[in-house]
Structure 1
């Protein structure tokens, strides 16, 4: 899929853009990479062209134009606009996309959508962080150099005249995204709908914060591992990640808004606010709410209320595919090992408190064993192994259902796309000048043909499924998925509880002390 990204820059140094395009940069620190002599290192492969300027004197020509019209002279003015057109990595292997071809597409896109501007068009083939996706950078001076013919996407009369600045509005950005989609459909490259909001919205700021946090955690865990300590946290989680995960877990089983609010508050200390019909969430370590729109469409009011309705519907009918597993969680906790507890060794008062807590947990463990009838360690181990196997089987069944649901969702999407553009395709077949008609309605025809091909491949040459049947199947799969998820959560909780009991029994029987006793005798001798 190709995506379009826009960055507005107030940096008066146009040469910075030239250096970034031609030389290697640290993408995290956004600083150039230098060799042992302190010199810039050229990129291994790039393609660079200038539009209405020489690419190597782009900075000087932009400054001359700005002085000519006395624009871009203050620090708070936007000096340049940076557009990035990133193609899907699969386009390289499946569709034969090369750096040269991408550069030509980028030049075509820039000439069509930014006429009259001085621009740098540069294609990189290594991708961000060596990801391998080919992408095109288009950097334009915000000030137009030449008068151009007025285009349909230009909203103001001055948008075609020299000496006026590039004006990006919401409608203009929508047009630019649509043009990217049309370009990729025409070239038969992978593409998704850029105009639909993302289910999980991750901004650049969050993406880089996640990378920096993960880097710090990896460095810290490396030191802990070298010191013989097993790290408990291996994956960094942003505040938005925490909110998304908590909302996903809470929404998977609740049936009402009140229950949803209560679970978020009790289990995750997250506050939910409803203002003007929109959901906003307060992270326990923040003072400002984060809107559901900033998290993604799956965290907004409309979607979550539909999930609650599905949960209510699924609870009313127990599926015959599997028997529901009901698990009531106990308050059993692990018995702590005082020999490895540094704080207990430093503080006698804390050690005394831990001993009292351990006695309570030991008593609860014994009561648990008697209540459930485990008469030997082997019986307890067998029950734990059986719980692990049941959890694993349910996890596989859940993933299988999720896979089927994803396929049905794709069929619904392409069926809607097929029906929406079917009338245009009929007009195309009936038209006398098919070439001209395709030029005027290329996007609709491409969407229709893509949807038709996908649906035919999915049906295996058979009859295309109706949207009504697909939605009924989706409802059944969603219902099954919710029940399987609830059973999986219960089984996982039961497995975790048995593991706690098993570990406590080993501590009570003193297996750790038995292993350490020969070492003490050897040290005395």
Structure 2
């Protein structure tokens, strides 16, 4: 699973980016860590390379480009863009990902998606959380230094021309996420769907609030060990809210009961508006929207969970589990964080709250029985009676996925060509009138200077379409759209499969 993050930089000191990538910085404040003599301390392990520049003179070369095109001269302008691609820690252990391989992938990604820009590409072997997540930093000057061939993802005529600024839109970020997913797929890395909302959404702000809060709590416990009897884990407001919502919806039979219990037990008001749900904590003026917590905390999911969670009554659940011969299987698999369609049970031995409250422990036991029943129903529905059956199903599923992925790749390669044809045909249509005026103009030289971008786009699109079709007679836009739609339907069907 790789994720990509974008940060806009307004700092006019480009060398600060190089310093950050190559020297140690405090993870909370972002300030440089200095030795006793006041000098920067180099990072112990990193790989740094430059594209269209020397990595150690990146700042000077960017300033030279800015002066040449008279850009980035004011304080409010975005001077650079910082992209971070973080790989799953498991890719290092399970798939043999190295910093050298990550750097090569980062260079390829930057050259493809930020063409013509001066760029720094730097790979670090670990992140702030020391989980072993290899990650790649890509820092680009916001002004393109060189003209490049127009690409499909470019939205404006100037996106391929030197002197124009890097343009970040929702569609472009969506494109970069799809490219990140494609990279993971091609390298057989762990991956998640970056194009749809996360089940549990944790922003950078919440992540760092949790890290800072945990550091302060650890410091307090160290100075006063008696505090460790109360709690050792810091919770943000959103973290607390997620835990409470999960607890209450596990014990609710309807949305009305869910709302009532949220208020009675925790004084949290639950509001609904236009199908959306939000939560107002007692010490806040502004409610927290469910979608900011993740899709697992929105109205639709909670309603579905409540209805699914109470199909069986408690007596029937208990009888099913008692008769089940797969109890040992549940106890073995419940401790593994594997991705599955059924929910994992809660380990009472490690659940601090369950040890502190007998009532809560009873709720957890009932919830565990419900989850076990769901698992048992899943096994019975799929005819899985032994571990051998499960292994056979796993093997056949992997083979099916492999075959389907081959079909996906073949469809995507066809779709890539048709997409190029579509964009080229659209570009020709958009600039056709200008090009006709150019051909009929008595002074083509002056007309071309006035309409350079449109004419260049038309000629480049025409040349590309000739190369793709192998003929000067182009297919109609309607035919291309029909073929494109059919390929997208086929691709979606394969992905669904």
Residue in structure 1 matched with residue 189 of structure 2 by the alignment: 189
- In 2, Cα distance between the equivalents of 1:258 and 1:81? 47
Query: Corresponding residue for 1:239?
Result: 237
Residue 289 (structure 1) aligned with residue 271 (structure 2): no
**C-alpha separation between the residues in 1 aligned to 2:253 and 2:366?**
22
| SS of the residue 1:314 aligns to | coil
| 1:191 Cα offset (Å) | 1.8
Q: What is the CA-CA distance between 1:204 and the residue it aligns to?
A: 0.9
* Structure 1 residue 389 displacement after superposition: 11
Contact residue 66 and residue 143 of structure 2 kept, 8 A: yes
Say if 2:321 and 2:372, in contact at 8 Å, map to a contact too.
no
Give the CA deviation at 1:48.
0.9
Look up the SS of the partner of 1:4 in the other structure.
strand
Helix, strand or coil at the partner of 1:139: strand
CA contact (8 A) 1:14 1:59 kept: yes
The 1:193/1:421 distance shift into structure 2, 3 A limit, reads farther
In the TM superposition, residue 312 of structure 1 has moved relative to its aligned partner by 4.7
285 and 388 in structure 1: CA distance in 2 versus 1, 3 angstrom threshold: closer
SS of 2:155's equivalent?
Answer: coil
**How has the CA–CA distance of structure 1 residues 204 and 270 changed in structure 2, closer, same or farther, with 3 Å as cutoff?**
same
Q: How does 1:218-297 map to 2 (within 5 A)?
A: 218-225=218-225, 231-297=229-295
Determine the structure 1 residue equivalent to 2:407.
425
Change (3 A) 1:105 1:162: same
Q: 1:448 and 1:233, CA in 2 relative to 1: closer, same or farther beyond 3 A? A: same
1:417 shift after superposition: 13
TM-score relative to the length of structure 2: 0.67
Residue ranges of structure 2 left out of the alignment (5+ in a row): 323-357, 383-389, 419-486
1:79 corresponds to: 79
Which residue is 1:6 aligned to?
A: 6
Q: Deviations over 1:474-512 (max 9, x none)?
A: xxxxxxxxxxxxxxxxxxxxxxxxxxxxxxxxxxxxxxx
CA contact (8 A) 2:309 2:370 kept: no
TM, length-normalised to structure 1? 0.64
Q: Does 2:39 match 1:36?
A: no
- Cα pair distance change 1:317/1:163, threshold 3 Å: farther
CA distance in structure 2 between the aligned counterparts of 1:394 and 1:312, rounded to whole angstroms: 11
Q: CA deviation at 1:66?
A: 1.9
Matched, 1:136 2:136: yes
**Partner-residue secondary structure (3-state), 1:57:** helix
Match of 1:127?
127
2:40 and 2:126 mapped to 1: Cα distance? 18
User: Following the alignment from structure 1 to structure 2, what is the Cα–Cα distance between the partners of residues 124 and 80?
Assistant: 20
Please report how far the alpha carbon of residue 248 of structure 1 lies from its aligned counterpart in structure 2 after TM superposition: 0.8
**Equivalent residue, structure 1, for 2:61:** 61
1:313 deviates by: 3.0
Change (3 A) 1:451 1:98: farther
Report the Cα distance in structure 1 between the residues aligned to 2:399 and 2:290, rounded to whole angstroms: 27
Contact 1:254-1:311 within 8 A present in 2 as well: no
- Contact 2:78–2:142 (8 Å) recurs in 1: yes
**For the residues of structure 2 that align with 1:22 and 1:56, how far apart are their CA atoms?**
10
Cα distance between partner residues in 2 of 1:82 and 1:113: 13
The whole-number CA distance in structure 2 between the counterparts of 1:421 and 1:236 is 46
Matched, 1:321 2:314: no
Paired with 2:123 and 2:492, the residues of 1 have a C-alpha distance of 27
Corresponding residue pairs, total: 382
Superimposed CA distance per residue, residues 453-479 of structure 1 (whole angstroms, 9 cap, x where no aligned partner): xxxxxxxxxxxxxxxxxxxxxxxxxxx
Name which of structure 1's ranges 147-156 and 229-238 shifts more when overlaid on structure 2.
229-238
1:357 alignment partner in structure 2: none
For the structure 1 residues 113 and 426, does the alpha-carbon distance in structure 2 shift closer, same or farther, using more than 3 Å as the test?
closer
Question: Aligned residue for 2:344?
Answer: none
CA separation of 1:310 and 1:20: change in aligned 2, threshold 3 A: same
Paired position in structure 2 for 1:378: none
1:270: how far off?
1.0
Q: CA deviation digits over 1:232-253, x for unaligned, max 9?
A: 1221111101111111111112
2:199 paired residue number: 199
Secondary structure of the structure 2 residue equivalent to 1:222 = helix
SS, match of residue 143 in structure 2: strand
Residues 48 and 123, structure 2, Cα contact 8 Å, conserved in 1 = yes
How much has 1:139 moved relative to structure 2? 0.3
Of structures 1 and 2, the one with the larger relative CO (CA 8 A, separation 6+) is 1
Q: Indicate the residue corresponding to 1:372 in structure 2.
A: none
The answer as to whether partners of 1:417 and 1:447 remain within 8 angstroms in 2 is no
- For residues 173 and 247 of structure 1, the distance between their equivalents in structure 2, rounded to whole angstroms, comes to 31
Question: Could you tell me which residue of structure 2 aligns to residue 112 of structure 1?
Answer: 112
Superposition deviation, residue 81 in structure 1: 0.9
The alpha-carbon deviation at position 163 of structure 1 amounts to: 1.5
Deviation at 1:15, TM superposition (A): 1.1
The change in CA–CA distance for 1:303 and 1:229 in structure 2 (over 3 A counts) is closer
Name which one, 1 or 2, has greater alpha-carbon Rg: 1
The separation in 2 between residues aligned to 1:192 and 1:149, in whole angstroms, is 31
CA distance 1:387–1:126, shift in 2 (3 Å): closer
Structure 2 distance, partners of 1:300, 1:212, is 27
Q: 1:26 to 1:447 in 2, by over 3 A?
A: farther
